């Protein structure tokens, strides 16, 4: 295999891919049980995917965020969330957790960031958001390593809906059995 060939990590080991999707379902259920909205979790998924540089997950989760009611304005300023008052305290806590997980700053910085977030959250919310960030980070890495491609959608479709995959056999598509339902997005199924 040459460096230019696509190696689809998800297709090479479907059992591990299914296990990762199983984790995503558990994380989604934990987020829901903790009372976290889908919109909040999608903001976290997008921010972590931005930091990890995963175009595929950004495309997928932006569509899910729009479906969940996240405004275009919030999506547009998400990289600068600390510089605007558009995000409420719960969203700020989630985004701080996402950044801490994705960036793994030095211990002092990480603990300070997480302490501020922790003050806004229940134990269940704190745990669910950390697991959500861990899960989307794993999906980011699988998509990046597999070089999952973002396919153009018709201009009319824009970001209104997540991408639809015509056939799981097309290059760049995730494994055929990977769930693509909104109930799995908390874990970052990407």
Residue 185 has what DSSP assignment?
G
Distance of alpha carbon 84 from alpha carbon 180, whole angstroms:
32
Distance of alpha carbon 135 from alpha carbon 166, whole angstroms:
25
Q: How do residues 82-121 score in pLDDT, each as one tens digit?
A: 999 999 999 999 999 999 999 999 999 999 999 999 999 9
Distance of alpha carbon 52 from alpha carbon 58, whole angstroms:
10
Give the up-direction half-sphere exposure of residue 54: CA atoms within 13 A in the CB hemisphere.
Answer: 28
Q: How do residues 50-85 score in pLDDT, each as one tens digit?
A: 999 999 999 999 999 999 999 999 999 999 999 999
């Amino acid at each position: 295999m040459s460096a230019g060939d696509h190696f689809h990590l998800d297709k090479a080991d479907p059992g591990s891919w299914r296990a990762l999707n199983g984790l995503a379902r558990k994380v989604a259920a934990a987020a829901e049980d903790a009372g976290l909205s889908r919109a909040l979790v999608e903001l976290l998924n997008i921010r972590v995917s931005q930091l990890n540089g995963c175009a595929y997950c950004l495309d997928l989760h932006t569509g899910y965020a729009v479906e969940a009611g996240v405004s275009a304005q919030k999506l547009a300023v998400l990289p600068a969330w600390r510089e605007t008052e558009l995000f409420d305290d719960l969203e700020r806590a989630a985004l701080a957790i996402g950044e801490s997980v994705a960036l793994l700053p030095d211990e002092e910085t990480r603990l300070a960031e997480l302490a501020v977030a922790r003050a806004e959250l229940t134990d269940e919310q704190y745990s669910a958001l950390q697991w959500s960030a861990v899960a989307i980070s794993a999906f980011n890495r699988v998509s990046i390593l597999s070089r999952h491609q973002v396919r153009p959608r018709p201009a009319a479709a824009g970001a209104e809906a997540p991408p639809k995959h015509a056939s799981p056999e097309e290059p760049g598509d995730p494994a055929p059995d990977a769930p693509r339902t909104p109930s799995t997005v908390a874990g970052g199924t990407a």
